Amino acid sequence: MVSSLYQLFLVVGVCAPVYCVPPSRVPSKGPPCPSPTRNTPTSQVFSRNTNFAFRLYRRLVLKTPDQNVFFSPLSISASLAMLSLGARSGTKTQILQGLGFNLTHMPESAIHQAFQHLLHSLRVPSKDLDLRVGSVLFIKKELRLQTDFLDNVKRLYESKVFSTDFSSTSTARKRINSYVEKETKGKVVDLIQDLEPLTVMVLVNHIFFKAKWEKPFNPDYTRKSSPFLVGQRTTVKVPMMHQVEQFAFGVDPELNCSVLQMDYTGNTMAFFVLPGQGKMRQLEQALSAGTLSRWSLLLRKRWIEVFIPKFSISASYDLETILPKMGIWDAFNENADFSGITKTGFLQLSKAAHKAVLDVSEEGTEAAAATATKLIVRSKDGPSHMVIRFNRSFLLLLINKATKAILFLGKVENPTKS
């Protein structure tokens, strides 16, 4: 039997600019679907997705210690779940267990239906948020796919399928990279550096995020050169955004960290998490779905003076070296069983690439005067307030409010390293 290699690429592009133009519309209430209630299959899937995100985060930190970490757990988990539709026997079990699912407690159909619900809710158009999530299969023209697999990826994951000529790997690579660049609005470029001659399929998952802060910063108050501690002794200079506002804020005494919630327009929020000095490792080890739930309960609205660096970071990962350490190993070796995709050849994953890009900056100055006045009044004559400075390593989570799904997760270790 001729061996064929199946390549899976997980792709993400994100842009989260901080506009100083206040929104002129009432923030969108987001998808019409209600938040999942406890103990339903959907809520269990969301909880396991959160735990998968943190388990993968810890693996990425081990691989690149003391470096920025940034990725889309939603993009990766959705792609793996979609891939499991074509997996069989131990390969399927490993993929789903690697994502945190136990098929003896939850039927496979419930898992895919929950992903379908999640992805559909994220695709609901919003005037205040540009969030684009999608999957596409680039398939060798001569490859005959199982009808059930094609039907399911289109129905459950709304994936597109493109017949592709892989006889010229350079042409195929350019086509795929061009598609990714377009879907991520130029944020992710040249993702695929090369394709192996035996490639018959490339799975791409992309996510693009762009939103305004609900309470934007004024660039006039950005300090052009502020100290940011990298490691224990090194200091770099970064632009530091600044404002005084009412935000949801809390201190977790168990993990010795401060948690700031800043809302975007369009049903999305960001958690900025600042551990106590020298407590990052303790925080990372404790991250779980339960941790997020506890934070949600302890956050209270209060006056906060906030200092957050203006930065751009990106990160690329070869997941084929990481996923096997999370229990997904057969998919990448000769034991792979993807007979649910095609029975005409032996398929195995040869590569799983993921790239994420994040921009946090001010754009637009139309309402700078109003914002400036608001800042001056509140900082001088307003009620007393707390001060929090994100001037050393911190965590960043971008979360969809309706589903509680973590869209992006990262650690800013050095904001000057893009």
The pLDDT of residue 310 is above 80: yes
Q: Give the pLDDT score at 54.
A: 98
The pLDDT of residue 321 is above 50: yes
Residues 377/275, Cβ–Cβ less than 8 Å: no
| CATH architecture classification, 3-211+312-359 | 2-Layer Sandwich (3.30)
The pLDDT of residue 281 is above 60: yes
Q: Quick: pLDDT tens for 41-52.
A: 778 888 999 999
The pLDDT of residue 150 is above 90: yes
**Side-chain half-sphere of 388: how many Cα atoms within 13 Å?**
24
For residues 251 and 365, which has the higher predicted lDDT (pLDDT)?
A: 251
The pTM is what? 0.86
For residues 372 and 156, which has the higher predicted lDDT (pLDDT)?
A: 156
For every residue of 202-262, DSSP letters joined together read EEEEEEEEEE-BSSPPPGGG-EEEEEEEETTTEEEEEEEEEEEEEEEEEEETTTTEEEEEE
Average pLDDT over residues 390-401: 95
Sign of CA dihedral 226, 304, 212, 368: negative
The pLDDT of residue 268 is above 80: yes
Q: Between the ranges 15-24, 83-92, 364-373, where is the mean pLDDT highest?
A: 83-92
The pLDDT of residue 376 is above 60: no
The pLDDT of residue 275 is above 80: yes
Q: Give the pLDDT score at 357.
A: 81
**Residues sharing a CB contact under 8 Å with residue 313, sequence separation 6 or more, in sequence order:** 68, 70, 357, 358, 410, 412, 415, 417, 418
CATH code, 219-309+368-412: 2.30.39.10
Residue 11 is classified by DSSP as: E
Q: Give the pLDDT score at 17.
A: 30
As a whole number of angstroms, the distance between CA 333 and CA 56 comes to: 21
Q: CA dist 57 to 52, 89, 103, 167, 287, Å? A: 8, 28, 24, 37, 9
Helical H runs in 64-101?
73-84, 89-98
The domain segmentation of the chain, as residue ranges, is 3-211+312-359, 219-309+368-412
Average pLDDT over residues 185-208: 83
Q: Quick: pLDDT tens for 73-101.
A: 998 999 899 999 999 999 999 999 999 99
Query: What's the pLDDT band for 25 if we cut at 50, 70, 90?
Result: very low
Query: What's the pLDDT band for 195 if we cut at 50, 70, 90?
Result: confident
Are 3-211+312-359 and 219-309+368-412 in the same CATH fold? no
Q: Give the pLDDT score at 16.
A: 31
As a whole number of angstroms, the distance between CA 396 and CA 75 comes to: 17
The pLDDT of residue 147 is above 70: yes
Q: Give the pLDDT score at 39.
A: 65
The pLDDT of residue 196 is above 60: yes
**Residues sharing a CB contact under 8 Å with residue 334, sequence separation 6 or more, in sequence order:** 348
Q: Give the pLDDT score at 18.
A: 30
Query: What's the pLDDT band for 380 if we cut at 50, 70, 90?
Result: very low
Q: Give the pLDDT score at 311.
A: 87
Q: Quick: pLDDT tens for 330-361.
A: 998 889 899 999 877 788 887 777 888 887 75
For residues 314 and 241, which has the higher predicted lDDT (pLDDT)?
A: 241
As a whole number of angstroms, the distance between CA 287 and CA 255 comes to: 10
Q: Give the pLDDT score at 374.
A: 25
Average pLDDT over residues 166-189: 88
Q: Give the pLDDT score at 362.
A: 54
Q: Give the pLDDT score at 38.
A: 56
| Residue recorded with tokens 């892989």 | 166
Instruction: Report the chain's mean pLDDT, rounded to a whole number.
Output: 82
Q: Which of 14-28, 97-111, 133-147, 356-370 has the lowest mean pLDDT?
A: 14-28
For residues 16 and 406, which has the higher predicted lDDT (pLDDT)?
A: 406
Pairing of strands 129-140, 346-360: unpaired
The pLDDT of residue 185 is above 70: yes
Average pLDDT over residues 208-235: 90
CA nearest to 414, candidates 56, 70, 71, 13? 70
